[in-house]
């Protein structure tokens, strides 16, 4: 049930970000959301990214850093990292 609720949450946010026929686009430019996993959500980041990809969100890989290495992420739980420390890590390389 928890996974289902999380995907429904991601699905709703995606609906708000994707410009489709009949939806007003007041900004006329792409809008982005970025998620940093919080306590006990690290195991949901891969599923969120892959769901966004399947739904057609072009920036699906950048929706969160907490996904697994196999889809281009840095698993926060493995390395004990926060979103802020990931930024510092990326700037360092």
Q: What is the pLDDT of residues 27-76, one digit of tens each?
A: 777 777 777 666 667 778 888 889 989 988 888 888 887 788 888 887 77
Boundaries of domain holding 60: 34-93
pLDDT of residue 64: 80
Q: Is residue 65 part of a domain?
A: yes
Per-residue CA distances from 22 to 3, 9, 25, 56, 60 (Å)? 30, 22, 9, 17, 23
Q: Is residue 9 part of a domain?
A: no
Number of domains in the chain: 1
Per the model's pLDDT, the better-predicted residue between 57 and 90 turns out to be 57
Residue 26, pLDDT > 80, answer no
Residue 16, pLDDT > 80, answer no
Residue 84, pLDDT > 80, answer no
Per-residue CA distances from 78 to 18, 56, 57, 72, 93 (Å)? 32, 29, 27, 14, 19
Q: Is residue 70 part of a domain?
A: yes
Q: Is residue 51 part of a domain?
A: yes
């Amino acid at each position: 049930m928890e996974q289902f609720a999380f995907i429904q949450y991601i699905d709703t946010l995606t609906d708000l970000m994707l410009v489709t026929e009949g939806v007003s686009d007041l900004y006329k430019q792409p809008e982005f959301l970025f998620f940093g996993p919080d306590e006990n959500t690290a195991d949901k980041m891969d599923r969120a990214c892959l769901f966004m990809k399947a739904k057609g969100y072009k920036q699906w890989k950048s929706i969160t850093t907490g996904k697994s290495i196999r889809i281009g992420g840095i698993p926060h739980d493995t390395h004990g990292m926060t979103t802020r420390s990931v930024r510092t890590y990326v700037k360092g390389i």
